[in-house]
Structure 1
């Protein structure tokens, strides 16, 4: 049944889903028009919201570009290549490859979302080198594991409300992760997705006649042949000592961060870990730089599109449009259905504000009074926002850009399969938030 369902979904998306750059331009126009029509903002005010917010994600944009680049460099180092090859060797059939890449992506994304995006994409490429499998579904499966990130260890919303001094602390206090990430209802949702997402992906596997394969030779990174070292500069470029004099202290800093300072995972720490491990495992600066040149090719989408999303977020927040959208849906809620409507509203807002922390800042002022008025558990409502934010990432190509950059595909190649996952996982998450 899922194979039959995925066929029209794939064709629909391939025909009508534009390039992510076109998608973000359309969202910009829609957000601006809605702010004028719904919030009665003047065109000049909307223009100012957009222009003032356009560069607000520069730090985040660079972090995301480094997630792609440093993760690629790490995975292309000889030891990690061998590890991925052995792990990929466990899959003997196309179906096994789909299940394996989904499970690896789910586990990595639950630990950290940046880690999951890179590991899933790179592992999919390695599987494609060894197993004859539909490459579109393989990469879509790698991306589908991203669905669990906001219910995992690096979830923005649960970690925000567990932090002293967060912006809603006077209203709800500090809510520990035992009530959110490690609550029974959240863990059961995660467990259900670990079972269902690989199964759904496997059931969507096209027949051999309908599958789209990739020549494994196209996935190999091209490296220049090494000649004889004759210049002093070349000796530095091929110096193991120089690489380790920088790489090993970088890893020692991370050991200090985790063990002595009690620090946790965040995007900067993940990038540092990827970078310093890559420096050490590549052994020479020349090897690292060759990998960097290959990795940077996939980062163009991140560089050009993230500023537009910053502008859209500014319009949504500053005009009041995000709050109005959330409030309209919440007005339908009862004590029983508030988590469900919170989840749906978060999913809709995420299409325009694809940022977990930013979305909580937008929706908390609407959701918290509703939860208090109806007597609904605050941690459950907070996790409904988190899951809604993660859910529609299966439709929103913003977060798929690093995966697509690594895999060498376009959004239309994978989003048909992701659309089916969106419908099915939405039912599971909504049921868990409402009745568990």
Structure 2
């Protein structure tokens, strides 16, 4: 297992470029495919690409807010203190590994941005307190726990599929969470991951001479938590008083909670991406205590949204070319030709994993794969919720080999991709069995 981890680490470092480069490559591939496989000329393909380029601005904003609100919540002083106390539970490196993996997995079920940041901060706290811990591996455990996110409350695809106005509503209709997240197969997959991942990381844990000592300076307080928890200056003017007003934060948080109560009372428990973002916004503001503290946390969190901001217009352009040129319909027919109602979910899962190398985003997956996966599911009579979750699981699964979403955690840890990717790819191989069983037999 250790040899396999080293092999995959070397492979990823040599041949996996930045996800933005993949988005550019996929754009060119789709453009050329339109010229080769359809009757449209270069000017028409340019028009399809350009007319769709800005169609996902609102969607990109929603995805960015999922990250920053979860990130800001994770960096609140209260949660920081609880992480410190919880880290004290681990007395040995093995206990630390299990605790970090399980903690990151549970946090990712609540919010993927929250899980990424909490996992990294928790790993640092454990590394500080448990002698003999391999810091690199603890950070790897934090990212491995991220594997649960698409089956949780912030899963981009199930939330977006349930949100009015989403890019696939005209094709697949609205898919409520009762058909995606709150299903037997999702419960099986989620519970199986929560049980299996800590056991697997314990088995992969470096021991003896394989443990790598890390520069203790990397274990200092991270800038996010330090900035967020910094004491506010004494109010000397009306402006400063408002910036550091706890009353203002409480009032706005209560306003957010009041709306959520009203929304659920009138529309039932219909959770979508907007309600999740509002919940995390209100809670983060409340826990940070003052508007200025929360804004500082948001400013740090926003650094992680660069990939979303720059890549989503290209995903929109790709969607435009697929829809307008007829490539999406051709892919649908090709997919149907090799699928049956029984094999469709697993094949959709595998195709989603492949696409994740080019589009490492759950929301981006819905845009790129939805136009051919969802119509194919309809024609084969496959439940749309299963089809949507097959796309979601494939994206979450292949994140173990595509390091795009590891970057925020690695930035906090002060590490690089090569420090964790071998362990993650090994996890990919084991977790694929769980996803396959859940999709095929439940």
TM-score, structure 2 normalization: 0.79
Quick check: 1:301 aligned with 2:307?
yes
Q: Residue in 2 aligned with 1:54?
A: 53
Quick check: 1:103 aligned with 2:109?
no
Query: Which structure 1 residue ranges, 5 or more long, are not aligned?
Result: none
Quick check: 1:30 aligned with 2:4?
no
Superposed CA RMSD = 4.0
- In the TM superposition, residue 6 of structure 1 has moved relative to its aligned partner by 0.9
Return the alpha-carbon distance in structure 2 between the equivalents of residues 230 and 189 of structure 1: 55
Q: Residue in 1 aligned with 2:79?
A: 80
User: Would the alpha carbon gap of residues 11 and 96 (structure 1) be closer, same or farther in structure 2, given more than 3 Å must change?
Assistant: farther
User: Would the alpha carbon gap of residues 229 and 23 (structure 1) be closer, same or farther in structure 2, given more than 3 Å must change?
Assistant: same
Return the alpha-carbon distance in structure 1 between the equivalents of residues 274 and 171 of structure 2: 30
Q: Residue in 2 aligned with 1:428?
A: 434
Q: Residue in 1 aligned with 2:394?
A: 388
Q: Residue in 2 aligned with 1:202?
A: 202
Return the alpha-carbon distance in structure 2 between the equivalents of residues 274 and 158 of structure 1: 18
- In the TM superposition, residue 65 of structure 1 has moved relative to its aligned partner by 2.7
- In the TM superposition, residue 141 of structure 1 has moved relative to its aligned partner by 3.1
Worse-matched range after superposition: 79-88 or 290-299: 290-299
Q: Residue in 1 aligned with 2:220?
A: 217
Q: 1:266 aligns with which of 264, 272, 275?
A: 272
CA contact (8 A) 1:344 1:388 kept: yes
CA contact (8 A) 1:19 1:411 kept: no
Q: Deviation per CA, 1:312-369, whole angstroms, max 9, x where unpaired?
A: 3433444444554454454334565344323323333454564354334431212332
TM-score, structure 1 normalization: 0.80
Quick check: 1:364 aligned with 2:374?
yes
Q: Deviation per CA, 1:25-65, whole angstroms, max 9, x where unpaired?
A: 33333333333334454333332232222222222322333
CA contact (8 A) 1:152 1:181 kept: yes
CA contact (8 A) 2:159 2:273 kept: no
- In the TM superposition, residue 13 of structure 1 has moved relative to its aligned partner by 1.4
Q: Residue in 2 aligned with 1:239?
A: 245
Return the alpha-carbon distance in structure 2 between the equivalents of residues 414 and 310 of structure 1: 31
Aligned residues: 431
Worse-matched range after superposition: 397-406 or 272-281: 397-406
Worse-matched range after superposition: 394-403 or 194-203: 394-403
- In the TM superposition, residue 305 of structure 1 has moved relative to its aligned partner by 2.8
- In the TM superposition, residue 10 of structure 1 has moved relative to its aligned partner by 1.4
Query: Which structure 2 residue ranges, 5 or more long, are not aligned?
Result: none
Q: Residue in 2 aligned with 1:64?
A: 63
SS in 1 for 2:220: helix
Q: Deviation per CA, 1:51-91, whole angstroms, max 9, x where unpaired?
A: 22222222232233333333233222221211122222223
CA contact (8 A) 1:330 1:342 kept: no
CA contact (8 A) 1:134 1:212 kept: yes
User: Would the alpha carbon gap of residues 267 and 3 (structure 1) be closer, same or farther in structure 2, given more than 3 Å must change?
Assistant: same
